[in-house]
Amino acid sequence: MGSAHVDKGEGRLIWIPITVAATAFQVARNAAQRSIMGEAGPWGATLVRFLFGLPFATLFAAIAWLVTPGATAHASLPFWIACVAGAGLQIAATAALLTAMQRSSFALGTAMQQSGLPFALIWGVLFFGDHVGPVAWAGGLIATLGLAILTWPRGEVVMRKDAVWAGLGSGAIFALSANCFRQASLAFEPAHPAASAFVTVMVVQAIQTLALTSYLAWRDRAALKAVIAAWRQSLGAGFCGAAASGLWFTAMTLSPVGPVRAVGVVEMPIAAIAGRRLFKERLTPLQVVAGLVTAVGVVMAALG
């Protein structure tokens, strides 16, 4: 499943605004999921993005395919392997992240998850033949440092055994799953990245919906009932989640995952603005500086 090198000089920098749009939809999805977290629990809230996103993902895939003349499906074995592997890895990464948060704190788990940015660069180069220049490497590391400072919890940190490994593991596995999704999109229809990306989202979300629904039906039927009961609130999360995933996958088809993940950290200022408007949250001076450092790293990773 080797990846094709995308020449940024051929007008392919369109992946940057696509990524920014994806982060905006992702912030909206997270806000919607947050509203049902209490009753459905973390796994129920995770299922929401797949179960209620699947109808929208199917609709988006159909529209993208219909408006793309000349698109040809290549549902080959590498495509299915990449979809199944990516879907499973993303669920495993979520489990690792939840474990890290349980054994430390929500904020600390979020901070450790930022390790996914350099891991995305590493996995892409080692396993998928991505071409990443030294400036992009430096930008990814700078952005990771800025994110760690920005998201590191203030005050006393309580951390149980293995929390660090679980947090770093979640970042590494999330990055690996993202690379699998990129390979799936490239395998399905590399000549038409948007159509291929939305079809890949539909297939991946179908796999994840089946897996998580089966798990909750077996282990936590109360959470499954809470998800179904909250269908009105969940529709918004499903729509935003499907739109975000489609845009993420499109960007990752046009560019290696590492730079896309770096640009994707614009989610942090978007979330900060939303938090200030909705919840009257404020950033500390150190967090403002960390945000500026992150921005420098993002620009280097995107253009390097």
Domain-embedded: residue 300: no
Number of separate domains in the chain: 1
Query: Which residue range(s) make up the domain with 183?
Result: 14-277
- Per-residue model confidence as pLDDT tens digits over 294-304: 777 777 766 65
Q: In whole angstroms, what is the distance from residue 294 CA to residue 152 CA?
A: 14
Domain-embedded: residue 289: no
Which value, to the nearest 10 degrees, does the dihedral of the CA atoms of residues 184, 187, 188, 192 take? 110
Domain-embedded: residue 8: no
Is-contact 260 248, C-beta < 8 A? yes
pLDDT, residue 97, reads: 76
Domain-embedded: residue 299: no
pLDDT, residue 207, reads: 96
Q: In whole angstroms, what is the distance from residue 277 CA to residue 282 CA?
A: 10
Q: Which residues, 6 or more positions from 240, have their beta carbon under 8 angstroms from its beta carbon?
A: 25, 26, 28, 29, 32
If you write DSSP's letter for every residue of 27-57 in order, what string do you get? HHHHHHHHTTHHHHHHHHHHHHHHHTTHHHH
Is-contact 22 252, C-beta < 8 A? no
Domain-embedded: residue 9: no
**Residue the block writes with tokens 């993420």:** 248
**Among 239, 185, 227, 192, CA closest to 3:** 185
Q: In whole angstroms, what is the distance from residue 277 CA to residue 272 CA?
A: 9
Residue type, 227: V
Is-contact 146 297, C-beta < 8 A? yes
> In the chain, what is the straight-line distance between the N-terminal and C-terminal CA atoms, in Å?
25
pLDDT, residue 179, reads: 92
Q: Work out the burial of residue 2: count CB atoms within 10 Å of its CB; fewer than 13 is exposed, 13-18 middle, 19 or more buried.
A: exposed
Domain-embedded: residue 161: yes
Domain-embedded: residue 70: yes
Q: Which residues, 6 or more positions from 291, have their beta carbon under 8 angstroms from its beta carbon?
A: 146, 150, 268, 269, 272, 283
pLDDT, residue 8, reads: 41
Domain-embedded: residue 298: no
Q: In whole angstroms, what is the distance from residue 113 CA to residue 170 CA?
A: 6
- Per-residue model confidence as pLDDT tens digits over 269-278: 666 555 555 4
Q: CA-based Rg of the chain, rounded to a whole angstrom?
A: 18
Per-position pLDDT tens, the chain of length 304: 444 444 444 446 788 899 989 988 887 877 676 666 566 677 887 788 889 999 999 999 999 999 998 888 888 999 999 999 999 998 888 878 777 766 766 556 666 666 677 788 788 888 777 777 788 778 777 877 777 776 666 655 555 667 778 878 888 898 899 999 999 999 999 889 989 999 999 999 999 999 999 999 998 888 888 888 888 878 888 899 899 999 999 999 888 888 888 788 776 666 655 555 544 555 567 666 776 777 777 777 666 5
Q: Work out the burial of residue 155: count CB atoms within 10 Å of its CB; fewer than 13 is exposed, 13-18 middle, 19 or more buried.
A: exposed
